[in-house]
Amino acid sequence: MPGMQDQLMQLAVIFGTMHLVKKAGLESPEYAPFIRAMYGTATAVILALTFYIKSLVQKGNDTTALEYDDAAPGSQQGRVVTTVAKYDLGEVAKLQKSTLFTTAIVLFMHFKFGYIQPLILQSLLPLLNLYKNQLFQIHLLGKPATDSLKRPWVAENPFAALTGAVGADSAATAAAATAATASDGDASSSGSETETRKDK
């Protein structure tokens, strides 16, 4: 049941954060510079850790043979023959790309539409996801590559279908935060219009 627990934890973080943002009034423009700095710091930490993990993989250079069937959607590669080091480097590259992709989405939503919630969510969830990531568990925490950490790794998060990487959670939660913000904004606008009609 660990996968289900992780999903429930992420949902709790998402809705709990959105509730606190509303209650504390963090959507006010005066807080924007601090929230941007927090998001930038979190993203920089994640990217720095991925480069550090990459250096550890390259330094260890584990040439143990690894064979598996490529089950990725749309893949026609079939049987894959590689080494542990090459496999891990490929996973690091996926993580870095998904992080940059998500960053682009979040920044676009923030500067184009003024959304604050995605910045806050993406300052928290990606760090949580990175901690649970197999690369982090093996290379930074020193856990053996057995059981759920045995290669090849299968994404267990509920949003894996979006991008097929750890950053999928980030993209999905950003979208969730945006939808919630837009919904709240529509509700507020409708309420204002109703009050206006009553005043008339």
- Mean pLDDT, to the nearest integer, of 141-154? 93
Local confidence band at 163 (pLDDT 50, 70, 90 cut-offs): very low
Local confidence band at 117 (pLDDT 50, 70, 90 cut-offs): confident
Look at residue 170 in the predicted model and tell me its pLDDT. 52
Is the pLDDT at 35 greater than 80, yes or no? yes
Is the pLDDT at 176 greater than 50, yes or no? yes
Is the pLDDT at 2 greater than 80, yes or no? no
Local confidence band at 158 (pLDDT 50, 70, 90 cut-offs): very low
Q: Note the pLDDT tens digit of each residue in 55-79.
A: 999 999 999 999 988 866 656 667 8
Dist CA 151 CA 57 (whole Å): 14
Look at residue 154 in the predicted model and tell me its pLDDT. 79
Is residue 179 classed exposed, middle or buried when 0-12, 13-18 and 19+ CB atoms within 10 A define those classes? Answer: exposed
| The model's pTM | 0.75
Is the pLDDT at 167 greater than 90, yes or no? no
